[in-house]
Amino acid sequence: MHFNLQPILRNERVTLMPLQAQDFEEVYSIASDALIWEQHPNKNRWQRPVFETFFEGAMQSGGAFKIVDTQLNASIGSTRIYDYNPAEKSILIGYTFFHRMYWGKGFNHAVKTLMLDYLFQYVEKVGFHIGAANIRSQKSIERLGAVKMGEQEVAYFGEAPKLNFIYHIQKTDWLVRSVKL
């Protein structure tokens, strides 16, 4: 089943807009904060040349988004849908980052919920690659109901492979969890 990897998705907190080339400076102004990347496997992504490679990978993925605060209509980060596998009815969510003033305020939960609700119309399993040292992201994804399934060296676009934990959420588990929320 084919579906749109870059729809416009919106809820009361966030709007996900397809990432465009002209968004580079706006998104880089957020990503240029070194503290955003402190637990990430690629800690130097705040540097412009490294972020340019990251952004190029986002554009080539065909599933990248700019995250916008719906109330303020202000860009607050980026995320991505990638590696759709029609045979396994699976896809990955990742490459997510937020402006630090949005940390710990439920925005990541709002983004992931929006994406999962959309994706589970088309797939049976959503996976996440999370850096082995990225405790903040691991806890966040576990709160959504994701389960750690293993560890894997992951090569990000144009970057060296790094150890990541692999998490999954099954559609059936998400639907049961969503009813309880």
pLDDT in tens, the chain (181 residues): 578 999 999 999 999 999 999 999 999 999 999 999 998 888 899 999 999 999 999 999 999 999 999 999 999 999 999 999 999 999 999 999 999 999 999 999 999 999 999 999 999 999 999 988 888 889 999 999 999 999 998 877 777 788 889 999 999 999 887 765 5
Structure tokens at 7: 């729809």
One-letter amino acid at 158 equals G
The burial class, CB within 10 Å (0-12 / 13-18 / 19+), for 155 is exposed
